Amino acid sequence: MNEPILRIEDLVVHYETRTGVAEAVNNVSLEILPGETLGLVGETGAGKTTIALTIMGLLPQPGGHVIQGKITLDGEEITRYMTNNRRQSNKNDKYFRKIRGNKVGMIFQDPMSALNPVYTVGEQIAEVIRLHNKVSRAEANKKAVDMMELVGIPGERFKNYPHEFSGGMKQRIVIAMALACSPRLLIADEPTTALDVTIQAQVLELMRGLRKEFNTAMLMITHDLGVVADICDKCAVIYAGQIVEYGTLEHVFNNPKHPYTLALFAALPSLDTEVERLQAIEGLMSDPMDLPEYCSFYDRCNHRCDACKNCDPALTEVEPGHFVRCLRISSEEEEK
Amino acid sequence: MAKMYTPAMAKLDKKRSRSRSAQRPSSPAREAWIRLKRNRLAVVGMVILAILILTAIFADVIAPYGIDEQNYTDALQGPSLHHLFGTDNYGRDIFSRVVYGTRISLPIGLICVFIAYLFGGVLGALAAFYGGKADMIIMRILDIFQSIPPMLMAIAIAASLGTGVVNLVIAISVSTMPARARIVRAAILSVKNSDYVESARCIGAGSRRQLLKYMLPNALGPILTNITFSIATAILTVSSMSYLGLGIAAPTPEWGSMLSAGRSFIRTAPHILIFPGAAIMITVLALNLFGDGLRDALDPRLK
């Protein structure tokens, strides 16, 4: 059973705005197998969230467009339903409504505001279940209580409102909602960013446990390499809408190749050596409205050379399953 | 550290032991109600409103005389034990007429606001929800309506349809509708981009569910507040229109038309005007106090 749950091939997403076209996602390809977790790492504005929204069919309208590429979810091509054809839009909408919450669950960054303040948390979990399954209200409520127990919230708090919970507990409830219909894929968009470290560890522990129980594939979007090391099987480093390094956790963490990945690791504080200041990456990410023709990391790269300015490097396989997008690496490979 | 037991905690414990409801989860509506109860002016407004509503319901019991019981021997008398608010030029008891007046002003005010919100609210909600072209078209049409002063429009509609309760309600509802649409539109827009609406989309909720279960309940605060103020305005408009002779015709004890009928006696028998005028004032004041309290209770951050 090695058919991937999610396969993205050569995805390009643009935002068309009044001032220009932002190239948010450029030729991204990735694959998630059942039960596998892929970490998507990158800085703010690198296009991580855009990828997640594209999978959900929720690109901001008007403006967001899938220019090319194919997304296959659980064996079904969903990009077919992303045309901007007006006549199709009702059908597309219907299709995606069936997917959202059912096949794909989503966990948000800020649990504080992701729950509807006027309904009890139990009602909200039961609502997802009732939206996608033909069950009675009582059955849905019972399932909702089970889900709450599963994420470590006592079932008697079914009738409590969101403001009566702490941030960590709310995130648990959001996770319960996302998993209520046993989705094939769980997208977690920076699920721990808004939580403090102890709660973060608890939530990650919970997600790890649930992932096993439900055998759910997971797309973990984060900018925290620690979270990736903690929970992911594979890791994709994304920069300016492009995957610059892609491989298993061991590949990327033990043998990082791309200058950007190296710089990210250099920016982490170390426990062994005492440093006055943390090592930051100089400069800013290129403007997605005005991406250079050459390697988009050129301006900030420590290893740049003149040749870099003349070509746009392609992803090169340095070892089985480990891809790097850098001219130095690809020329080395050629020499071999 | 030893656990401190403060007087405040003792007080709370006592309260809890008295009511079992303390354990109930607190819904946002309940919290707002608790805040509202603590606002003294709002409670005053609520009590006055309750009295007015009871008066309207039990007008038959309260009023000592009928609305058109004429007694020419007692005409133009000042307040006394027989006639609490005195009598008018036909010898009718003003207290009874003011009491029956609650049966006119309160329901008409409510109905006008209800109709204006029904149509204006739906238009405003649709405009906010769909945005873009739909918003543009709906709001521009309402702009045209709104460019005419509401009072002037109400007068024009009432004049062309003729006087009468139904026409008055139509006139006031239509003329205030654009303003109501704006309130609802602004309220929906303020919650439209919140995270919980986004998460509603992510669990596969359709447009109707998003609007009715996620946006509207959360946008209800400013709308409810505005409804109370609108009722006050509607009551004032009804009275003004009646005063001008475009509203409810003379024998009906509408407060505005009572003012109009009594205006020639302002020097000789001012009580004919003072009591219906005071009734209008108290009703509007109570509604405004209640509305103010409601606004503070529904959005504590505003304070």
Which residues on chain A are in Cβ contact (under 8 Å) with B199? Answer: 106, 108, 114-115, 174, 177
User: Which residues face B162 on adjacent strands?
Assistant: none
A 10 A CB-CB count for B162 gives 9
Reduced to 3 states, what is the DSSP secondary structure of residue A325?
strand
Which residues on chain B are in Cβ contact (under 8 Å) with A119? Answer: 213, 217
A 10 A CB-CB count for B186 gives 15
pLDDT at B20 over 70: no
From B132, B204, B218, residue closest to A117, measured CB to CB = B218
Q: Which residue of A has its CA nearest to B221?
A: A118
Q: Write out the residue range of the structural domain in which residue B245 sits.
A: 29-302
Q: Is residue B90 part of a domain?
A: yes
pLDDT digits (tens, 9 = 90+) for B178-194: 999 999 999 999 999 88
Interface test with B, best of A116, A175, A190 (most B CBs within 10 A): A116
Q: Which residue of B has its CA nearest to A177?
A: B203
User: Which residues face A40 on adjacent strands?
Assistant: A221, A236
The distance of A106 to chain B (nearest Cα, Å) reads 7
Scan for tokens 């408009």, then name that residue: B237
From A115, A117, A120, residue closest to B25, measured CB to CB = A120
Q: Output b/e per residue, A142-167; b: 16+ Cβ within 10 A.
A: bbbbebbebbbbeeebbebbbeebee
Using CA atoms, how far residue B147 sits from A118, A207, B151, B153, B179, in Å, is 37, 57, 12, 10, 11
Q: Where are the beta strands (DSSP E) in chain A?
A: 6-17, 20-32, 37-41, 64-73, 76-77, 104-107, 185-189, 217-222, 234-239, 242-248, 315-319, 322-325
Q: Distance between CA atoms of A288 and A333, rounded to whole angstroms?
A: 30
Confidence grade of residue B67 (pLDDT, cut at 50, 70, 90): confident
Using CB atoms within 10 Å of the CB of residue B264, give its burial: 0 to 12 exposed, 13 to 18 middle, 19+ buried: exposed
Q: Report how many helices (DSSP H) and strands (DSSP E) chain A contains, helices first.
A: 11, 12
ipTM above 0.90, yes or no: no
Per-residue model confidence (pLDDT) at position A335: 66
Helix ranges, chain B (H) = 7-18, 28-38, 40-57, 59-62, 94-130, 132-146, 150-161, 165-192, 195-202, 207-209, 216-243, 255-262, 271-298
Per-residue model confidence (pLDDT) at position A300: 85
Reduced to 3 states, what is the DSSP secondary structure of residue B149?
coil
What are the tokens at B204? Answer: 């596969």
The distance of B217 to chain A (nearest Cα, Å) reads 7
Give A298's DSSP letter. G
Per-residue model confidence (pLDDT) at position A210: 87
pLDDT digit of tens for each residue in chain A (336 aa)? 568 899 999 999 998 888 888 888 988 999 999 889 999 998 888 888 899 989 988 888 778 888 888 999 988 888 888 776 666 778 888 888 888 988 999 988 888 889 998 899 999 999 999 999 889 999 999 999 999 999 989 988 999 999 889 888 999 999 999 999 989 899 998 888 888 888 888 888 998 888 888 888 999 999 888 889 988 999 999 998 899 999 999 989 998 989 899 888 888 887 777 777 777 887 788 888 888 888 888 888 888 888 888 778 888 888 888 999 988 877 776 666
Is B64 an 8 Å CB contact of chain A? no
Using CA atoms, how far residue B229 sits from A64, A156, B301, in Å, is 42, 40, 20
Which residues on chain A are in Cβ contact (under 8 Å) with B27? Answer: 118, 120, 161
φ/ψ of residue A234, rounded to 5: -125, 160
Question: Measured on CA atoms in the order B139, B145, B149, B153, is the torsion positive or negative?
Answer: negative
Nearest to B233 by CA among B112, B102, B119: B112
**HSE toward the beta carbon, residue A279, CA cutoff 13 A:** 14
Per-residue model confidence (pLDDT) at position A60: 82
Is B190 an 8 Å CB contact of chain A? no
Cβ distance B195 to A128 less than 8 Å, yes or no, reads no
Cβ distance B203 to A128 less than 8 Å, yes or no, reads yes
Give the pairing type, strands A217-222 and A37-41: parallel
Q: Output b/e per residue, B14-36; b: 16+ Cβ within 10 A.
A: eeeeeeeeeeeeebbeeebeebb
> HEC string of A45-98?
CCCHHHHHHHHHCCCCCCCEEEEEEEEEECCEECHHHHCCCCCCHHHHHHHHHH
A 10 A CB-CB count for A204 gives 19
Confidence grade of residue B98 (pLDDT, cut at 50, 70, 90): very high
Number of domains in chain B: 1
Q: Is residue B255 part of a domain?
A: yes
The distance of B47 to chain A (nearest Cα, Å) reads 28
Confidence grade of residue B144 (pLDDT, cut at 50, 70, 90): very high
Which residues on chain A are in Cβ contact (under 8 Å) with B200? Answer: 116
- Answer whether B53's CB lies under 8 Å from B110's CB: no
- Answer whether B248's CB lies under 8 Å from B165's CB: yes
Per-residue model confidence (pLDDT) at position B23: 57
Is B30 an 8 Å CB contact of chain A? no
Q: Is residue B100 part of a domain?
A: yes
Is B23 an 8 Å CB contact of chain A? no
Cβ distance A116 to B26 less than 8 Å, yes or no, reads no
What are the tokens at B118? Answer: 């029904």
- Answer whether A308's CB lies under 8 Å from A295's CB: yes
Per-residue model confidence (pLDDT) at position A87: 67
* Helix axes of B255-262 and B94-130: crossing angle, nearest 10 degrees: 130
- Answer whether A261's CB lies under 8 Å from A46's CB: no
Q: Is residue B231 part of a domain?
A: yes
Cβ distance B25 to A164 less than 8 Å, yes or no, reads yes
Cβ distance B196 to A163 less than 8 Å, yes or no, reads no
CATH code (residue B138): 1.10.3720.10
Cβ distance A127 to B203 less than 8 Å, yes or no, reads yes
Per-residue model confidence (pLDDT) at position B143: 92
Interface test with B, best of A58, A118, A157, A164 (most B CBs within 10 A): A118
- Answer whether B145's CB lies under 8 Å from B178's CB: yes
Q: How many CB pairs under 8 A join A and B?
A: 74
Q: Is residue B131 part of a domain?
A: yes
Q: Is residue B9 part of a domain?
A: no
